[in-house]
Chain A
């Protein structure tokens, strides 16, 4: 699971071309979106990019974007849980 999380963090930094943030800086349970103390403060465009990146990297798709999927994108933890549950075996 930890390996998956660090892969996700690497993916976030690379796919979103983040500057001044390394994978190590991302806190597992901090919110990825919106305003918060230790979060990344990503925006809605980043969400779209991230969705594409998750599909490319892990083969996991989000067919419908709804409140439910937004929950999976809340933090690295939630994203890791969703990906590991849905990753094609």
Chain B
């Protein structure tokens, strides 16, 4: 095993910005990444995650701020001087070169001898489990195999940083799961530092050590997957993390880390406050579909069922609250359209955000 990740201590993004004309694609992004971390940049399309990646790669100049690799400022370097590895969304394999030549391209550019190159390329090809395909052209490979070549090509140069731009988005669902495990395996094996761009929160949660949620060019929250999953800091982050049910209401009581909200749809719910919330504030209550239950033990509110689907162990029902808010919730028994039911959730699973629209 001779392929290792290059050493550094930390990569720092300081007030990184990018303007396209009048549009701020990225605003004052600050981020410190330690060696060996797997970072996911997560957000909807147009949030600035790909812009960040392209600036890191040197493919797009930043219009403000800087990037430091330990003490070395790198944001002025041309992409070929940075020595990072990158996996592109459509793989960008050189169609006129064999798999071996694709993988060895970076080594050739570094002026490595043929024998050494051959050794490293073989090793990388073995690592991504493509032994025997070395002489094929990319056009003769399946999507998953092309993906493996793209990864091998990026890691064989032992980059301090591997950048991945939605690498799984062109694969079908089954292959996506397989390659997800593969990417994590290779990351662990090399100890490489990886920055991974995706719009799929499930992918980010399962792969990353830390997730950076971006929206409209601004970092909304940085945290480990479980932090983000359980404690999203903002309503939009919560929504992105699957808090699908949203109900308006007014705070009637607050006791430590527990607030009681009188819902606009009638009834009340208890939950954990996020941010500065006081009695009398208008708030939005959010709950995951998995945590909203039919016929709860505690408090709840009335809802009208529109449809329900069998989901193996439970039923997932869709309906609406009295104020018209859409609801999705779990039920142990089948429900029929038109049923009037009581729904609610465990207060520990309920998040209460201030309603900024008011």
A and B assemble together: no
Interface residues of B (CB under 8 A from A): none
